[in-house]
């Protein structure tokens, strides 16, 4: 999704903005631009395509000299990707430049009104109305003008503004779209996420709905929606800039795959306490006999991979807690008139903590009286702040659009929540509790073992990379893991991939299997071994080629398959975290073989902040 960076300080703004935009590339975009104010005028440079196109246009003698500016990466929603539709947008008189993330839902009405008053628009975007409204409403005071404009806007927005009327400052307003203010030394920043400004500062302030910020090089002033001055204290973000860089890996995705042992360790270890290492403490979340025994059902809600993590969590939690778990896509949950109340626990999953559909689901669940726990990676994100409780996943910054460590840490966090509830409800024996806890703690070591030898995965990936369609099958928790495996392959290699519950294949989809069709079969559930064996045979007898991914205990399946990848020995209940790593690598190598843009796949955005 679109990205925003803004700078005011003693350096030339353009290079800072261009670097910041590069850091935002991972969010997905189709064009970009900067606006730099030099005390007299605002210079705007924009370009369709990659940031390096913009860099070319803004370098050498074309580089603006001003020390205040805003930059934007655009992901087209209203109006095709083009130079003109890229941000920043200037007001017709050139006095205001804005960058905008979000959607102005009433833009057509506002645009018609402004046109009727003689204003000329340059672009097809909804965003340009903000710049034109600023010009139209300017009353000599920027804060009051911004308030007047904000009152006219329906929809969601994070907006950065520079104006010739205040040549020492840049401004920001927001509603339902993330925006942080980075507080530096003799320089300050605005950004849609802190990755864009992390190399300059670790101190950030979240701008809340309805608030306005005025940033000069030496100060940041905040105003509430009535224009009153308010105090806000910065918090520190400990992520280092190296963690947002490739550190020698060819792609962020590969680096993030390799970071999983560390990410899972950081998510799990600090939560296992007690002298014997047998107690789970989930930060500030209070799980007591009373509130746990009150839970009659659990809803898990998320989008994309977060939803898939929820499906894995569902089978684990149902098995050990004996509570009915309903896993819902956030975009469906919101419009499904959900049955929920104060006896339902709602677990909201989101790596970014800013996904608009998921945020809407959280708000609805809260409104209907459900207690909400957010499993989130990005500290102080909207979902983390609005949920009743939060369990951070500590994956660190995830830059590749296709999530890897974000997903596996979500699954690990759900395991901890499930085990904690099961222990309180006495629905798990003490011995099994300890066994599973040990298995969760051992996951990083087992993932390390997978990562040490990826040759076979790479070789199968190369062999199958030319295929047009790949099926993923599994039963039970293997089926849940297949869903994520298929999504990874679709996202980055553009191969049509479908996950099916292995037993369901015969009810229709098997008609698609023909000579050479590739099926990846997950076989880690010992109790379902024989059933999987028959499913594999059924695929092969229609001419299909089967690559089995099996745990050590089930490796005999290799004799019946066309290829085999064996994962380290692990408990059946936690195998999805390990198979996920194998499937991530498979998708990665397929995409690499096909020459795809792995970190920034077409049409996808890392953080989807519109519904």
Residues with active-site annotation: 2, 606
| Range in contact with ligand G6P (rule: CB under 6 A) among 144-152, 170-178, 351-359, 458-466 | 351-359
Q: How far is the CB of 420 from ligand G6P (least distance, A)?
A: 22
- Which residues ranging from 272 to 311 are in contact with ligand G6P (CB under 6 A)? 303-306
For residue 611, state whether it binds ligand G6P (rule: CB under 6 A).
no
Task: Name the residue among 252, 260, 203, 255 with its Cα closest to residue 232.
Answer: 203
Task: Name the residue among 265, 318, 305 with its Cα closest to residue 477.
Answer: 318
Q: How far is the CB of 406 from ligand G6P (least distance, A)?
A: 6
- Which residues ranging from 306 to 345 are in contact with ligand G6P (CB under 6 A)? 306
Among 352, 525, 551, 575, binds ligand G6P (CB under 6 A): 352
For residue 358, state whether it binds ligand G6P (rule: CB under 6 A).
yes
| Range in contact with ligand G6P (rule: CB under 6 A) among 89-97, 137-145, 161-169, 602-610 | 602-610
Among 67, 355, 524, 545, binds ligand G6P (CB under 6 A): 355
| Range in contact with ligand G6P (rule: CB under 6 A) among 215-223, 247-255, 385-393, 599-607 | 599-607
Q: Residue count at the site for ligand G6P (CB under 6 A)?
A: 16
Name the DSSP class of 481.
H
Distant-in-sequence, close-in-space partners of 93: CB < 8 Å, separation ≥ 6:
135
Q: How far is the CB of 27 from ligand G6P (least distance, A)?
A: 10
Our CB check for ligand G6P shows the closer of 524 and 607 to be 607
**Separation of alpha carbons 466 and 460, rounded Å:** 11
Our CB check for ligand G6P shows the closer of 371 and 606 to be 606
| Range in contact with ligand G6P (rule: CB under 6 A) among 182-190, 427-435, 561-569, 600-608 | 600-608
**Separation of alpha carbons 586 and 522, rounded Å:** 13
| Range in contact with ligand G6P (rule: CB under 6 A) among 91-99, 239-247, 348-356, 411-419 | 348-356
**Separation of alpha carbons 548 and 520, rounded Å:** 6
How does DSSP assign 394-443, residue by residue?
A: ------SSS-SHHHHHHHHHHHHHHHHHHHHHT-S-HHHHHHHHHHHHHH
**Separation of alpha carbons 546 and 560, rounded Å:** 9
Our CB check for ligand G6P shows the closer of 351 and 524 to be 351
Q: Residues 395-434: x/- map of binding to ligand G6P (CB under 6 A)? A: ------xxx-------------------------------
318 CB burial (10 A radius; 0-12, 13-18, 19+): middle
Contact indicator for 30, 48 with CB cutoff of 8 Å: yes
Six-digit token pair at 227?
A: 């224009």
Our CB check for ligand G6P shows the closer of 306 and 565 to be 306
Six-digit token pair at 324?
A: 């009915």
For residue 350, state whether it binds ligand G6P (rule: CB under 6 A).
yes
Our CB check for ligand G6P shows the closer of 403 and 584 to be 403
- Which residues ranging from 364 to 393 are in contact with ligand G6P (CB under 6 A)? none
User: Roughly what angle, to the nearest 10 degrees, separates helices 405-425 and 260-268?
Assistant: 30
Q: How far is the CB of 489 from ligand G6P (least distance, A)?
A: 13
429 CB burial (10 A radius; 0-12, 13-18, 19+): exposed
Q: How far is the CB of 590 from ligand G6P (least distance, A)?
A: 17
Our CB check for ligand G6P shows the closer of 211 and 354 to be 354
How does DSSP assign 356-380, residue by residue?
A: HHHHHHHHHHHHTT-EEEEEESSTT
How does DSSP assign 442-474, residue by residue?
A: HHHHHHHHHHH--HHHHHHHHHHTT-SEEEEEE
Our CB check for ligand G6P shows the closer of 73 and 135 to be 73
Query: What SS3 state is found at 549?
Result: strand
How many helices, marked H, and strands, marked E, lie in the chain? 18, 27
Among 101, 351, 393, 525, binds ligand G6P (CB under 6 A): 351
Q: How far is the CB of 230 from ligand G6P (least distance, A)?
A: 29
Our CB check for ligand G6P shows the closer of 128 and 599 to be 599
Using Cβ positions, the residue closest to ligand G6P within the complex turns out to be: 304
How does DSSP assign 84-144, residue by residue?
A: TTSSPEE-TTSSEEEEEEEEETTHHHHHHHHHHTTPPP-SS-STHHHHHHHHHH--S-HHH
Contact indicator for 547, 554 with CB cutoff of 8 Å: no
Separation in Å, CA 418 to CA 39, 48, 104, 291, 589: 58, 47, 41, 14, 33
Our CB check for ligand G6P shows the closer of 91 and 305 to be 305
Q: How far is the CB of 328 from ligand G6P (least distance, A)?
A: 14
Q: How far is the CB of 124 from ligand G6P (least distance, A)?
A: 25
Q: How far is the CB of 347 from ligand G6P (least distance, A)?
A: 13
Query: Where along the sequence are the contacts to ligand G6P (CB under 6 A)?
Result: 303-306, 350-352, 355, 358, 401-403, 604, 606-608
């Amino acid at each position: 999704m679109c990205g925003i960076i803004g700078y005011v300080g003693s350096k030339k703004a353009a290079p800072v903005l261009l670097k910041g935009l590069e850091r935002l590339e991972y969010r997905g975009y189709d064009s970009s631009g900067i606006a730099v104010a030099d005390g007299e005028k605002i210079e705007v440079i924009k370009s369709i395509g990659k940031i390096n196109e913009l860099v070319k246009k803004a370098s050498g003698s074309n580089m603006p000299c001003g020390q205040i500016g805003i930059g934007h990466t655009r992901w087209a929603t209203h109006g095709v990707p083009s130079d003109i539709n890229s941000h920043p947008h200037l007001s017709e008189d050139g006095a205001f430049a804005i960058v905008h993330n979000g959607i102005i839902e009433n833009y057509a009405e506002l645009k018609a009104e402004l046109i009727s008053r003689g204003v000329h628009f340059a672009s097809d975007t909804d965003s340009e109305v903000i710049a034109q409204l600023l010009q139209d409403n300017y009353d000599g005071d920027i804060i009051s003008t911004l308030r007047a404009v904000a009152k006219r806007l329906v929809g969601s927005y994070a907006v950065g503004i520079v104006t010739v009327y205040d040549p020492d400052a840049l401004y920001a307003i927001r509603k339902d779209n993330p925006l942080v203010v980075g507080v530096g030394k003799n320089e300050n920043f605005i950004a849609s996420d802190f990755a864009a400004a992390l190399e300059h500062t670790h101190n950030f302030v979240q701008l809340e709905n309805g608030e306005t910020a005025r940033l000069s090089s030496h100060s940041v002033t905040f105003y509430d929606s009535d224009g009153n001055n308010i105090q806000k204290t910065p918090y520190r973000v400990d992520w280092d800039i190296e963690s947002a860089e490739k550190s020698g890996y060819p792609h962020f995705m590969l680096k993030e795959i390799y970071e999983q042992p560390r990410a899972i360790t950081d998510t799990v270890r600090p939560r296992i306490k007690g002298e014997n290492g047998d107690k789970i403490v989930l930060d500030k979340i209070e799980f007591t006999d009373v509130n746990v025994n009150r839970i009659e059902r659990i809803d898990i809600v998320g989008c994309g991979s977060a939803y898939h993590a929820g499906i894995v969590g569902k089978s684990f939690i149902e098995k050990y807690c004996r509570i009915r778990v309903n896993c819902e896509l956030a975009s469906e949950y919101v419009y499904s008139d959900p049955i929920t109340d104060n006896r339902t626990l709602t677990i909201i999953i989101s790596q970014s903590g800013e996904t608009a559909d998921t945020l809407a689901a959280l708000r609805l669940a809260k409104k209907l009286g459900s207690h909400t726990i957010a499993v989130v990676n990005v500290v102080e994100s909207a979902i983390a702040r609005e949920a009743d409780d939060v369990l951070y996943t500590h994956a660190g910054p995830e830059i590749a659009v296709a999530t890897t460590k974000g997903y596996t840490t979500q699954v690990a966090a759900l395991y901890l929540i499930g085990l904690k509830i099961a222990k309180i409800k006495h629905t798990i024996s003490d011995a099994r509790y300890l066994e599973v806890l040990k298995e969760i703690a051992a996951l990083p070591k087992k993932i390390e073992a997978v990562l040490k030898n990826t040759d076979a995965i790479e070789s199968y990936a190369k062999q199958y990379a030319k295929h047009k369609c790949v099926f993923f099958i599994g039963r039970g928790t293997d089926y849940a893991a297949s869903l994520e495996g298929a999504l990874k392959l679709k996202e980055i290699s553009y191969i049509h991939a479908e996950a099916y519950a292995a037993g369901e294949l015969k009810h229709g989809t098997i008609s698609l299997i023909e000579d050479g069709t590739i099926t990846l079969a997950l076989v880690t559930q010992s109790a379902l071994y024989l059933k999987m064996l028959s499913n594999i045979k059924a695929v092969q007898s229609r001419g299909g080629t089967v690559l089995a991914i099996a745990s050590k205990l089930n490796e005999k399946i290799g004799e019946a398959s066309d290829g085999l990848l064996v994962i380290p020995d692990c408990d059946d209940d936690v195998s999805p975290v390990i198979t996920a790593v194998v499937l991530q690598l498979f998708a990665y190598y397929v995409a690499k073989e096909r020459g795809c843009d792995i970190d920034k796949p077409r049409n996808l955005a890392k953080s989807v902040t519109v519904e």
